[in-house]
Amino acid sequence: MQSKDYINIEDSYGAHNYLPLDVVISKADGVWVEDVDGKKYMDFLSAYSAVNQGHCHPRIYKAMAEQAKKLTLTSRAFRNDQLGNFCKQVTELCEMDMMLPMNSGAEAVETAIKTARKWGYKIKGVPKDKAEIIVCSNNFHGRTTTIVGFATEDQYRDGFGPFAPGFVIIPYGDYDALKAAVNENTVAFMVEPIQGEGGIIIPSKGYLQKARKLCTDNNVLLIADEIQSGLGRTGKLFAYQHEENAKPDMLIIGKALSGGFYPVSAVVSSKEVLGVFNPGDHGSTFGGNPLACAIASESLNVIVEEKLPQRSAELGAYMMELLHTINSKHVKEYRGIGLFIGIELKPEAGGARRFCEALQGDGLLCKETHEHVIRLAPPLIISRKDIDWAFSRIKKVLETL
Ligand X SMILES: *Cc1c(COP(=O)(O)O)cnc(C)c1O
Q: What is the set of active-site residues?
A: 140, 225, 255
Q: Judge contact between 146 and 163, C-beta under 8 A.
A: yes
The window from 138-146, 162-170, 341-349, 367-375 that contacts ligand X (CB under 6 A) reads 138-146
Q: Check binding of 225 to ligand X (CB under 6 A).
A: yes
For residue 48, state whether it binds ligand X (rule: CB under 6 A): yes
> Positive or negative CA dihedral for 142, 144, 148, 149?
negative
User: Applying CB under 6 A, which of residues 55, 117, 118, 141 lies at the interface with ligand X?
Assistant: 141
Q: Which of 43, 110, 132, 192 binds ligand X (CB under 6 A)?
A: 192
Burial of 158 (0-12, 13-18, 19+ CB in 10 A): exposed
Shortest separation between residue 48's beta carbon and ligand X, angstroms: 5
Q: Is 140 in the site for ligand X (CB under 6 A)?
A: yes
Instruction: Single out the segment in contact with ligand X by CB under 6 A; choices: 199-207, 223-231, 335-343, 355-363.
Output: 223-231
| Nearest residue to 295 via CA among 252, 266, 338 | 266
Determine if 208 is a binding residue for ligand X (CB under 6 A): no
Least spacing, CB of residue 220 vs ligand X, in Å = 20
Task: Assess 106 for contact with ligand X (CB under 6 A).
Answer: yes
Using a CB cutoff of 8 Å and minimum separation of 24, what contacts does 96-99 make?
Answer: 96/251, 96/268, 96/269, 96/270, 97/269, 97/270, 97/271, 97/274, 98/268, 98/269, 98/270, 98/271, 98/274, 98/275, 99/266, 99/267, 99/268, 99/269, 99/274
Please report whether residue 223 would count as binding ligand X according to CB under 6 A.
Answer: no
Cβ proximity to ligand X: between 112 and 331 the closer is 112
Is 175 a residue that touches ligand X (CB under 6 A)? no
- Tallying the residues shown for the chain, one arrives at 401
Smaller CB separation from ligand X, 192 or 306: 192
Residue type, 151: A
- CB atoms under 10 Å from CB of 215, counted, come to 21
Please identify which residue in 28, 131, 135, 227 interacts with ligand X, judged by CB under 6 A: 227
Instruction: Kindly tell me which of 231 and 398 has the beta carbon lying closer to ligand X.
Output: 231
CB of 185 to ligand X, least distance (A): 25
Q: Provide, rounded to whole angstroms, the least separation between the CB of residue 298 and ligand X.
A: 19
367 touches ligand X (CB under 6 A) = no
Q: Is 112 in contact with 223 (CB distance < 8 Å)?
A: yes
Binder among 82, 91, 111, 228 for ligand X (CB under 6 A): 228
Please report which helix (H) or strand (E) contains residue 168, including its range.
strand 167-170
- What ranges in 95-182 are assigned the alpha helix state H? 105-119, 145-149, 154-157, 175-181
Tell me the closest approach of the beta carbon of residue 50 to ligand X, in angstroms: 8
Binding of ligand X at residue 110 (CB under 6 A)?
A: no
Please report, as residue ranges, which positions from 243 to 272 form the binding site for ligand X (by CB under 6 A): 254-255
Chain-centre distance for alpha carbon 182: 26
104 binds ligand X (CB under 6 A): yes
**CA-based R_g, the chain, Å:** 21
Q: Which is nearer to ligand X, 236 or 255 (CB)?
A: 255
* Nearest one of 172, 338, 139 to 252, comparing CA atoms: 139
Instruction: Report in angstroms how near the CB of residue 173 gets to ligand X at its nearest.
Output: 15
Residues 272-311 that bind ligand X (CB under 6 A): none
Candidate ranges 117-125, 224-232, 282-290, 306-314; the one touching ligand X (CB under 6 A): 224-232
H-run or E-run covering 312: helix 308-323
C-beta of 300 vs 397, nearer to ligand X:
300
Alpha-helical (H) ranges within 182-235 are: 207-217
Residues binding ligand X: what is the number (CB under 6 A)? 16
Q: How far is the CB of 108 from ligand X (least distance, A)?
A: 8
Residue 109 DSSP code: H
* Listed ranges 63-71, 189-197, 286-294, 359-367: which one lies at the site for ligand X (CB under 6 A): 189-197
Q: How far apart are CA 91 and CA 59, in angstroms?
A: 22
Contact present, 55 and 260 (Cβ < 8 Å): yes
List residues near ligand X by CB under 6 A.
48, 104-106, 109, 140-142, 192, 196-197, 225, 227-228, 254-255
